[in-house]
Structure formats: structure tokens, C-alpha cells
Amino acid sequence: MSRVGAFGLSTVAPPGWDVRVFRHGTGHSTLHLASFPLPPVDGEFGTTATGRMPSDALFLTLTEYEAADEAGRGLFAARPPSSLPLREFGERTLLLARPGQRGLQRFFTAAGRDFCLYAVLSDGPRSSALLSAAGRSLRKLQFV
């Protein structure tokens, strides 16, 4: 496993997972991590990836926000998540509701920067293993 990063974000992807860090134009940093091949181009919240997502898969994005005077306060007061509990995924959290998918959203501040973590899980027998693998990548995140 090797570290992948750009634009001040990096992590280590689980074996066989796809990871990409990008920025649209002069926008903010976004990291995509998936247990399946990512499309070559996508939006910050991965609507293309989640639309092509196979069953028994996980997609995760970290997208940087610019929230004036909010760093570390209000919606962004939390620390970076280190795990993705299955019980916290729900159908109402999805950006686009799709059968067999559940989502999770967390807002936090790291290194003085505001982020949204958005994850989509498609149902299958490996859900717990996928969430554990993603948690290991979350614990290896670096923000610079």
C-alpha cells in the first residue's frame, strides 16, 4: 500500500481500492476512495461513481469547504472521523437515493480546514469488512 495525495490531502488506500485526489479549476480539494474502479471524471460528491456502484461496495469522499469564520465551530466543530459505523448509514442521507444504497455525512475541521465526509454503502455481505477497511484509510489521512 502506498500513500496517494495531492492538494494537501493524502491517505493510504486498502489493497485493490481506487483513490483519487483532485480539484476542479481553482476549487477546493476533494479525495475519492472506493472499493471499485472510480470513473476518470466526477463531481465532488461522486454522483457518477455512486450511479455505477456495484452491489457490496463502498464509496467515500472528503470535500473541502470554505466556511467563513466556522473552522472548528458550529457544523464543523467535530474532529475527523476515524470509523464509519454501519448503524449510522441511512437512506435519507444520500445525495441521490438509489435502491440498495445507504449514506453517511460528517462535517469536521482538520488542520484549520473545513471538510465534509460523505460515504455511500451498497448492501452486501462484505459491508462490515468494507467499513473496517475504509476506517483504516481514514485513520491514515493527512491534512497539510
Whether the CA torsion 50, 54, 55, 58 is positive or negative: it is: negative
Beta strand 142-143 with 9-12 is antiparallel
Q: Which amino acid is at 17?
A: W
Beta-bridge partners for 31: 21, 62
What's the confidence (pLDDT) of residue 47?
Answer: 96
Question: What is the rounded radius of gyration, in angstroms, for the C-alpha atoms of the chain?
Answer: 14
What's the confidence (pLDDT) of residue 85?
Answer: 96
Maximum pairwise Cα distance, the chain: 43
Architecture (CATH level 2) of domain 3-143 = Sandwich (2.60)
Quick one: which of 55, 57, 75, 56 has its CA closest to 65? Answer: 75
Let me know how long the chain is: 144
What's the confidence (pLDDT) of residue 112?
Answer: 87
What's the confidence (pLDDT) of residue 70?
Answer: 62
CA dihedral of residues 137, 108, 117, 115 (deg, nearest 10) = -100
Angle at 40 between CA 37 and CA 46, to 5 degrees: 75
Quickly list H helices, 1-143.
47-51, 127-139
The number of angstroms, rounded, from the C-alpha of 48 to the middle of its chain's C-alpha atoms is: 14
Q: Which amino acid is at 56?
A: D
Q: For the chain, what are the domain ranges?
A: 3-143
Could you list the pLDDT tens digit for every one of the 144 residues in the chain? 678 889 999 999 999 999 999 998 888 899 999 999 999 999 999 999 999 999 999 999 999 987 656 666 788 888 899 999 999 999 999 999 999 999 999 999 999 889 999 999 999 999 999 999 999 999 999 998
